[in-house]
Amino acid sequence: MKVLATYNLKGGVGKTSTAVNLAALAARDGLRTLLWDLDPQGSATFLFRVKPKVRGGAGKLLRGSTNAGDRLKGTDVEGLDLLPADFSYRHMDLLLDETKRPTKRLAKVIAPLADDYDLAILDCPPSISLVSESVFEAADALLVPLIPTTLSVRTFEQLLGFVGAEVERPPEIIAFFSMVDARKQLHRSLVADLPSVHPSIVGTAIPAASDVERMGVHRKPVVLSAPNSAAAKAYGALWQDTQDRLSQRRQR
């Protein structure tokens, strides 16, 4: 089972939109897909019309007294299951700190599901914490959405430095520009120039689009609610970029 995680230090940059759309695309392609909503806000859980509640909460999951497989929920997308958010996830840092080898704990939670799924996608809260460090250890790749601004790029560079220096088995970094407004000169400039400076940034850019914003109204990924939209096509290209990068990683 391959593990992807959508991650950024900042909130509101498109992590959840990426997670739910790529999960839907993976399932459409025939991959048995699991989405774990690690954010206590539960946006991914909401979009799939699931109650944000895990019986026993984060504590029992992390201690292993609750089997993650028993807490899964089906979604409206065939082949896609959800491990929902729970408000207790807001304490996950403290709970991880009480465990042995805390940065290995999230990988241990989903390890029993490896034979049942081809792909797991973790939708992460915005932070640098024990939760994120545990995600870094569990993931084969981090999908990092970047708003095309100078400060967002600076934060990305900080992430690259941290992962490279602190993570025992660094995941592949797959960054991409998100919420791009082609009317803005700075957006156009950064999207055009930064991939040559940072090879981790792929060429696909997700546009700022009302179709993405309306996912909350339709409560489904834009690749399903508006499959012919520019945003849906961009997520399709990002999914292809992701598969290509993972294939290159296997060959190295």
CATH code for position 111: 3.40.50.300
The pLDDT of residue 216 is 92
Q: Which domain holds residue 8?
A: 2-251
Contact predicate 207/230, CB 8 Å? yes
For the chain, how far is it from start to end, CA to CA, in angstroms?
A: 18
Closest CA to 212 of 244, 238, 243, 185: 238
Contact predicate 142/23, CB 8 Å? no
CA distance 232 to 200: 22
CA distance 213 to 123: 18
The yes-or-no verdict on residue 150 having pLDDT over 70 is: yes
Quick: pLDDT tens for 177-196. Answer: 999 999 999 999 999 998 98
The pLDDT of residue 251 is 60
Phi-psi category of residue 86: left, alpha or beta, with phi > 0 → left and psi -120 to 50 → alpha: beta
Closest CA to 44 of 88, 8, 4, 14: 14
Q: How many CA within 13 A on the CB side of residue 4?
A: 27
- The highest-confidence range among 54-68, 153-167, 216-230, by mean pLDDT, is 216-230
pTM (whole model) above 0.85: yes
CA distance 80 to 179: 25
Give 29's contacts (C-beta < 8 A, 6+ positions apart): none
Quick: pLDDT tens for 206-245. Answer: 999 999 999 999 999 999 999 999 999 999 999 999 999 9
CA distance 46 to 75: 11
CA distance 205 to 209: 12
Total count of domains within the chain: 1
Q: What are the start-end ranges of the H helices in 149-229?
A: 150-166, 185-197, 210-213, 215-218, 222-225
The yes-or-no verdict on residue 36 having pLDDT over 80 is: yes
